[in-house]
Amino acid sequence: MAVTMEHALEVGAAEVVGTGDRRPAPFTFVVFGASGDLTRRKLVPALYSLDKRGLLPEKFALVGVARRPLGDEAFRSGLQEGLRQFAGTDQDWRWERLRNQVFYFQSNYTDPGSFRELASLLERVEREKGIGGNRLFYLATPPEAYAPIAELLGAVGLGGNWTGGYSRIVVEKPFGRDLETARRLNTQLHSVFPEDQIFRIDHYLGKETVQNILVFRLANSIFEPLWNRQYVDHVQISIAESIGLEGRGLYYEESGALRDMVQNHLLQLLSLVAMEPPASFDAHAVRDEKVKLLHAIRPFDAKAVRESVVRGQYVAGRVAGKAVPGYREESGVVPDSQTETYVAMKLLIDNWRWAGVPFYVRTGKRLPRRATDVAVVFRPAPHSAFRHTGAGALDANELVLRIQPDEGIGLRFGAKVPGPAIRIQDVDMDFSYGAFGSGQPEAYERLLLDAALGDSTLFTRRDEVEAAWAVMTPVLEGWGRVDTPGTMAGGAVGNRELPLSTYAAGSWGPMAADELLARDSRTWRKP
């Protein structure tokens, strides 16, 4: 498709709309794995919402690519059903407009001829819709398909060497299974796309309340002076899930809680909480500081894996009053599985700001409720002027950043109880995101918009991914869950010399996790 340089510049420019937001230039959104659940549940509802907010360009096309033998109409009907189920709408003029811009292409991910046909389809759609040459490729496929798809995109001229506009690729997690595989995948992608055209997505970074961590720290001068080892006793970061496997037993056996949640979501939250303030809120400055923080995390040796990491697996119990089976009774799970459904660990950061301050992180399935939060626990007052009044010991002040589901910020401090005696009671000062009135945008809305705009601030960079894996791979090695030829990392593979603690579904995790903090004279707070 012949495109002049002036036209290429024109189609690459964003437009500022009335709200002050930027609307991307016309582009084609190509989704590999389009017949899967992610497209119906998240991606298309996000595009619909962006269009509703006036942030999707008028000239736009969605091309779904998958192995299933669907035509345009069957694919469109499936997306419409997804909108009805997950976005609460399916019949309005906006969907009717989008529907006519949706196309389907059946392909396997290893056939060069099929990719040449895809290139021809894209040229035809872009010509008919007047879109130009901007293309955003989204890999909603199993991870083993990432490299073959990228390689074939490059082979047929759809990769980073495309000169008719931009060509970007969005890659879902998991990005690698350990440090070695992450490095290999990075090298494979870089053979086709330059780093500034690769968008490694972590949907947690698209959440408004996660982005608010930096705003809270850096836009309010009353907190940042306290954000260091002089005033902070410790930090707790929790991602609790009440759900089980939801039919994903085969995937979870290969993954486990550390790969599924700790290496990405938990380390992302930790890096935003603990990083140094960037010079500006742009992609390079923010990600530079996150990488520095990840490099400052004290490496795990064999002794630290034994003493500072707890892995657990749920057994049968009750969640929300309902009896649920144990992990090994779930479909797709082997009877003697060593896969962890719970991880708790103590991390230390060896830098000037955080030296000596432990960061306790945990995540688990089949816990009592769904909740994600960050609790900054401050050091106790150095001297109590009320020790002779019978007021008792003073509790530590806590600042809690609630990520989900009750999004907001809480500050707990001591106050005098009314009356003649000096009695001190903890009280909460609370902010809820409900104060803003309208509902929050879904994470995928922000991330898809940023990818179309070319803003990679909320996406992970190559060195950031590898730094996170460098922290976690020694833990996997200690557990015996790093891949070796002829084995798979889930199931019965594992270091049985290290205990796999059990916990009842509906509890807050294994006793070993409580003991991890008890050794430091601390306790987990309940989200």
| Domains assigned to the chain | 5-172 (3.40.50.720), 206-443+456-518 (3.30.360.10)
Quote the pLDDT of residue 9: 40
Model confidence at 208, pLDDT cuts 50, 70, 90, reads confident
Quote the pLDDT of residue 247: 87
CA nearest to 135, candidates 318, 282, 8: 8
Residue range 148-157: average pLDDT? Answer: 96
Percent of the chain with pLDDT over 90: 73
CA-to-CA distance for 31 and 61, rounded, in angstroms? 11
Catalytic residue status for 265: yes
Q: CB-based contacts of 60: which residues, under 8 Å, 6+ apart? A: 26, 27, 28, 29, 101, 129, 131
Side chain identity, residue 54:
G
Residue range 351-359: average pLDDT? Answer: 98
What is the DSSP pairing of strand 232-240 with strand 309-315? Answer: unpaired
pTM for the model stands at 0.91
3-state helix, strand, coil in the chain (%, to 5): 40, 20, 40
Quote the pLDDT of residue 486: 37
Among candidate residues 190, 203, 234, 265, the one labeled active-site is 265
Instruction: Quickly list H helices, 368-461.
Output: 443-453
Say if residue 2's pLDDT is above 80.
no
CB neighbour burial string for 434-443, b if at least 16 within 10 angstroms, e if fewer: eeeeeeebbb
CA-to-CA distance for 283 and 290, rounded, in angstroms? 11
CA-to-CA distance for 46 and 57, rounded, in angstroms? 14
Chain-centre distance of CA 13, in angstroms? 28
Token output for 146: 């990432």
Quote the pLDDT of residue 39: 94
Identity of the highest mean pLDDT range in 170-174, 259-263, 421-425? 259-263
Model confidence at 496, pLDDT cuts 50, 70, 90, reads low
Residue range 434-447: average pLDDT? Answer: 82
Token output for 220: 């309010």
Model confidence at 227, pLDDT cuts 50, 70, 90, reads very high
Say if residue 92's pLDDT is above 80.
no
Q: Which of 79-83, 250-254, 324-328, 487-491 has the lowest mean pLDDT?
A: 487-491
Quote the pLDDT of residue 386: 66
Instruction: Quickly list H helices, 356-461.
Output: 443-453
CA nearest to 213, candidates 346, 349, 419, 409: 409
Quote the pLDDT of residue 492: 41
